[in-house]
Amino acid sequence: MVQSYLKHGPTQAFGLVCSSSSNSVFDGRLAYVPALEDVLVWDVKKGEMVAMWHETGHSEEVTCIVQAPQPGSFAVGYADGSIRLWTASSGSVATTFNGHKKAITALSFDESGTRLASGSQDTDIILWDVVGEAGLYRLRGHRDQITAIQFLSVAEDQPSTSTAAAPGLLLTTSKDTFMKVWDLSTQHCIQTIVAHRSEVWSMAINQERDLVFTGSGEGELKAWKVDRAAIADGLKETETGEVSKLIHTVSSLPLASKHKVSQLKFHPTEPYLAVQSHDRSVEVFRIRSEEEVQKKLARRQKRSKEKKEQKKGKGKDIKDNEEQEEVSEATLVDYFTPHLVVRASGKIRSFDFGTNKSSSKGTPQLFVALSSNAIEVYNIPPPSKSKDEQPDATRTYSVDLPGHRTDVRTLCLSSDDQILASASNGSLKIWNMKTTHCIRTMECAYAICSTFLPGDRHLAIGTKSGEILIYDIASSTLIETVQAHTATIWSMQVRSDGQALVTGSADKDVKFWSLEYKKATDESVQSGKLLSLVHVRTLKMSDDVLAVRFSPNNKLLAVALLDSTVKVFYQDTLKFFLSLYGHKLPVLSMDISDDSKLIVTCSADKNVKIWGLDFGDCHKSIFAHEESVMQVAFEKDSHYFWTVSKDKLLKYWDGDKFEGIQKLEGHHGEIWALALSHHGNFVVTGSHDKSIRVWEKLDEPLFLEEEREKELEKLYENGIADTLNRVDAPIGSGTEGGAVNGMTEAEVAAVTKQTSETLMAGERIMEALDLADTEREGMREYTEVMARLSDDDAMRMQPPARNPVLAAYDLEPEAWVLRVVEKTPSTSLQDALLVLPFGKVVSLMVYLNIWAQKGWNITLVSRIIFFLLKTHHHQIVANRIMRTTLIPLRKHLRSTLQQQKDVIGYNLAALQFIRRKNDAERTAQFYEEEDMDEEKVKARIAEGKKRKRVNLKA
C-alpha cells in the first residue's frame, strides 16, 4: 500500500500594507500598492482594504504599476518579465503579456491607451498592442536597465519617414547614462543623448509636453527642451550636414540634497513638480506662471537700476549694463521655485499625486508609500503671501496598523487556534485567525520569542535585552516587566501541565519560573487577579543557550548550546541524561514529538537531525534547506514535522520514513517564525518580507511519487523554454546578450518568449492538426473507393467511424482545428505557432484556406497567415508545392476581407445617417419653441453638446 499524505496549500497572506518592490499609484481616494505578488487597493480615508488583485498560481513579485488613460484599467509588471492588464472593477486579469527575460522596471501607456511600452532589466523595450493583445516589436539599444519611458505625441499631419501606422516618439532613459529618442514609425533610435555622468534614474514630462526633466544617481536634476518645430519637420539635415536634434539641453535645477533622484512627477492639473532625492523626504517645486515671472524680472531690473544709480563710476557702469542684460531673460530657476519639503515618518519607496481633488478646499495631495510597510497622504498648502510663514505639509491620512514596521520575528497561537500573536522590533500585534484582522496593537521592545500563558488571556514576550514582558490581551496593557536575564532570551516554553515556564538566554542561564496569580492593587487597571512569574531555580550552562524544550511527558528538558550540542536533563532533578552532538554549527531550534520518543533539531549548518530520546542515537541526518534552518516543529500526535529556513521555503517532512513530503513556496524573504495549529489543521509562518502566511491542510491526498514527477516535469519544461529563448545567444562569447560572431544585434526584433504554457499550446495545435489530417485522409480514401464502385455494388460499405473526440463535439475536422486555435490565448498565439515544425505549417495552411473560404474568424486567419508568411518566408518561397495552397488562399481571403470591408462601410454610413437625422430633429425641436431665432438655436445646440454625461448610482 502506497502511503498517501494530505496536501497543504496557501490560503491567507496578511500583515502587509505595502511592500517596497514597486511604485504605487494614487487616484485621490484609492491607493493601488504592491504587496509582494499581489496588488492591494486601499481606501486611505477609511484605512480599509477594498480589494486584493491576486492571480492563483503566480508568485512573482510586483515590480511596476501604471494606470491606463481609461479609468479602471491598470498595467502591472512582475519580476519574471510578465505584464498583466488588470480590470479594477472586477479585480481580474484581462490580458497577460510575456516577452521580457527579467523584471519589468518601467511601463507607460500612450495618450489613447491602445499601446503600452515596457522596459526591463534585460535592457529591451517592447511595444504592445493592447487592443490586439500582441507584441508589436522589441527595441534594442540601451546597455543597462531601463529606468523610465514616456510617449511623445506628434501631430497627425506631420511628414513621417515611414508609411507605418501609429506614429509618435518614445523617450527612454537607462542606467547606462543615456536618454534615447525612438521614432515609432520607423522603429529606430533617432537621437541618443548623454544625459548625465552617472545612471539616469527618473524622467518626467510637463503638461505642455515641451520640457523633459531627468534625475541622476549623483543627485543632479537636468531640464531638456523638446523642439516641437524639429519634430514637425521630421528628420532633416541642418546646414552643417548633421541631422537636426529634437531635444536640447536647457539647464539644471538645484536640489536640497545630493542623493540619487529616484522619482520625478508633475502634478496632472496643478502647477507642481515633486522630486524625491532623499530617503525620507520629497521636495515640491511650484511652477510660476509667465505673469509671475515677468513681475519678478521687473522687480529685479528695478533693483539693479537702483544699485546702478547708487554707484558712480565709468568702469562699474559697463558691468551694470551687462547685469541688466542678464536680468532681462528668465531662467529655469525663475519658473521652478522651491515650495516645501514633505518629510515622511519612514524611508520613502515611491510617491504619487492624487489626481482627484478629494479635499473640500481643493488642495493637492501627495501620497507616499514607505519601505516600512505603511502608506501616508499629505496635503500641500498653497503658497502664503507673507514671507515669514513657511508653508508646511500636513499629514491627513496614514495606514500602518494592519502590518509590522520591521521583520516578524516570532509567532504564537492560542490553545483554541482562534488568536495569533506576532511580534517584531517595536510592536506586538494580535490577529483574529478567522478574519485575519489585526485586533490589538501594542508597543514592545525587540521581541525574539513569545508564548501564550495558560488561559490564553496573557502573553509572554522574550526580548533582545533579556526582559520578559507580560501583556494582558483584553486590556492591551503591559502588566509586568521581569528583568530575567542579562542577555538576549532566545527561547521560552510553557510546560505541558501549565504550571511552569522555562527561558534560555545568551547569558548561559536556563531559568525556571512558576506561574502565580496575585491580587490586583487599587492602582492597577486590572480587576481580579494578576498573573505573575516567580523565579524558582536556575541551571547554569557552559555556553550560550539558543533553545529550550520540555518533553510532553514532563520528564526531560532539552537545551541547545552555542557549541553545536544539545544537552538533555531530567526535568525534576536537573541531572544530566544525554548529549546529542553531530551538528557542525549551532542548533537554532528543536522540538520533541507528542509521544516523547523523538527529538528533531535544526541548525545553521542547513541540516535537520532526528534523534531517539531513549539512547540519544541519531536516526537520520537530512540536508533540508539551502540556507540556515530557523525553526522546526512537530505536528500534533504524529512524527511529521515542519521546517522553515532563510531560503524562503517551508517544508513538510515524515520523521519515520525520513522523506520530504511537500515543499511550499510563497515567501519573498527569509522565514524567521513558525507556529503550528494545536489541532494540526494549519501552519503559520512569518517572514522578513513582513507578511504572515497561513498554509491549511486540504482534503486532497498527496502521493510522493506524483510530487517528484511534477517537480521533474516542471524543471524539464522550464529547461526547454530557456533553451528556445536563447535564439540570439552569443556564440563563443561568454557574455550574455553580446554580439553573435562579431556582428552587432539588430535594433528591432520580434517579440517572442517561450514559456511552458506556449509550448503546451503549440503541442495542442499539433495534436489537433494530426487528428484532423487523419480524419480527412480516411474520408478521402473512402470517397475514392466509393467513387470507383457503382451504386448497387455489393462491396459498398458504411463510411469509417468518426474520431470519438469529433463525434463527441459533433464537429468537422477543420472546425475542430479552429476551435483549438481560438482557445489559445491571443498573447501566446505567435509563440505557440513558432513551436510548429514546417510540415505542420503546410498542413495548417490548408485549414486556413478552408476557413477563409467559409468566412470563419477572418481576423484570426489573417493574423496567423501573415505571421506564418513572415516567419517561414524563405522555405515557403523555395517550396513549389505551397503555390497550390497559397493561390486559392489569396483568392478566398481577398474576397472575404472585401465583404467585411463592405459591411463595416455600410454600418458607418448608417451611423452617420442616424447622427444627421438626430441633429436635424433637435434643430427642428428648438425652432418649434417660441422666441427662437437661428443664433439662439445654434447656441443651445452647442451647449447641449458640451453637457457632460453623468452616471447616477442608485
**Whether pLDDT at 724 is above 60:** yes
Q: What value does the mean pLDDT take over residues 373-402?
A: 83
* Cell matching residue 225: 527642451
**Whether pLDDT at 368 is above 70:** yes
Q: What value does the mean pLDDT take over residues 828-852?
A: 85
Task: Judge whether 15 and 408 are in contact, CB under 8 Å.
Answer: yes
Query: Cβ atoms within 10 A of the Cβ of 868, count?
Result: 21
- Strand residues in 655-779 grouped as ranges (E): 659-665, 671-676, 682-687, 692-703, 748-749
Kindly calculate the radius of gyration of the chain based on its CA atoms and give it in whole angstroms. 36
**Whether pLDDT at 731 is above 50:** no
Contacts of 269 (CB under 8 A, 6+ apart): 355
pLDDT digits (tens, 9 = 90+) for 651-660: 999 999 999 9
Domain ranges of the chain: 407-520+529-540, 584-711, 756-900
**CB-neighbour burial class of residue 184 (10 A; exposed 0-12, middle 13-18, buried 19+):** buried
Going from the C-alpha of 119 to that of each of 213, 222, 445, the distances in angstroms are: 19, 22, 43
Please state, in angstroms and rounded to a whole number, the distance separating the CA atoms of residues 546 and 574.
18
Report the pLDDT value the prediction gives residue 794, as an integer from 0 to 100. Answer: 64
Going from the C-alpha of 214 to that of each of 23, 58, 145, the distances in angstroms are: 18, 34, 16
**Whether pLDDT at 635 is above 70:** yes
Q: How confident is the model at residue 357 (pLDDT cuts 50, 70, 90)?
A: low
**Whether pLDDT at 43 is above 60:** yes
Report the pLDDT value the prediction gives residue 186, as an integer from 0 to 100. Answer: 85
Backbone angles phi, psi at 923, to 5 degrees: -60, -45
Please state, in angstroms and rounded to a whole number, the distance separating the CA atoms of residues 741 and 723.
19
* Cell matching residue 215: 534625475
Report the pLDDT value the prediction gives residue 744, as an integer from 0 to 100. Answer: 54
DSSP tally for the chain: helices H, then strands E: 14, 56
For residue 158, the number of C-alpha atoms closer than 13 Å in the C-beta half-sphere is 21
**Whether pLDDT at 678 is above 70:** yes
Please state, in angstroms and rounded to a whole number, the distance separating the CA atoms of residues 63 and 44.
22
At the top level of CATH, the class of 407-520+529-540 is: mainly beta
Please state, in angstroms and rounded to a whole number, the distance separating the CA atoms of residues 368 and 365.
10
The 3-class secondary structure across 217-228, one letter per residue, is CCCCEEEEEECH
**Whether pLDDT at 860 is above 50:** yes
Report the pLDDT value the prediction gives residue 743, as an integer from 0 to 100. Answer: 44
Interaxial angle between packed helices 838-854 and 858-871, expressed in degrees from 0 to 180 and rounded to the nearest 10: 150
Report the pLDDT value the prediction gives residue 355, as an integer from 0 to 100. Answer: 73
pLDDT digits (tens, 9 = 90+) for 783-808: 888 787 777 666 666 777 788 888 88
Q: Do domains 407-520+529-540 and 584-711 have the same CATH topology?
A: yes
pLDDT digits (tens, 9 = 90+) for 233-263: 777 777 776 777 888 888 888 888 888 899 9
* Mean pLDDT over the full length of the chain: 85
Report the pLDDT value the prediction gives residue 77, as an integer from 0 to 100. Answer: 95
Report the pLDDT value the prediction gives residue 926, as an integer from 0 to 100. Answer: 66
Q: How confident is the model at residue 164 (pLDDT cuts 50, 70, 90)?
A: very low
The label of the residue with cell 489537433 reads 768
The label of the residue with cell 544699485 reads 307
Highest mean pLDDT among 267-271, 316-320, 526-530: 267-271
Please state, in angstroms and rounded to a whole number, the distance separating the CA atoms of residues 567 and 587.
11
- Strand residues in 88-154 grouped as ranges (E): 92-98, 104-109, 115-120, 125-129, 134-139, 146-152
Query: Cβ atoms within 10 A of the Cβ of 547, count?
Result: 25
* Cell matching residue 256: 536640497
Report the pLDDT value the prediction gives residue 555, as an integer from 0 to 100. Answer: 93
Please tell me the least confidently modeled range out of 208-217, 420-429, 466-475, 932-941: 932-941
CATH classification number, 584-711, choose in 2.130.10.10, 3.30.590.20, 3.40.50.880, 1.10.3720.10: 2.130.10.10
pLDDT digits (tens, 9 = 90+) for 739-784: 444 445 678 877 877 777 888 888 889 888 888 888 888 888 888 8
AA letter at 892? H
DSSP state of 405: S
Residue 608 vs residue 852, higher pLDDT: 608
Contacts of 154 (CB under 8 A, 6+ apart): 167, 168, 169, 231, 232
Query: Cβ atoms within 10 A of the Cβ of 527, count?
Result: 8
**CB-neighbour burial class of residue 656 (10 A; exposed 0-12, middle 13-18, buried 19+):** middle
Please state, in angstroms and rounded to a whole number, the distance separating the CA atoms of residues 678 and 632.
15
DSSP state of 311: -
Angle at 262 between CA 264 and CA 407, to 5 degrees: 130
Instruction: Output b/e per residue, 818-849; b: 16+ Cβ within 10 A.
Output: bebbeebeebbbbbbbbbbeeebbbbbbbbbb
Angle at 409 between CA 431 and CA 21, to 5 degrees: 85
Q: How confident is the model at residue 607 (pLDDT cuts 50, 70, 90)?
A: very high
Backbone angles phi, psi at 655, to 5 degrees: -75, -10
Q: What value does the mean pLDDT take over residues 824-843?
A: 84
pTM: 0.84
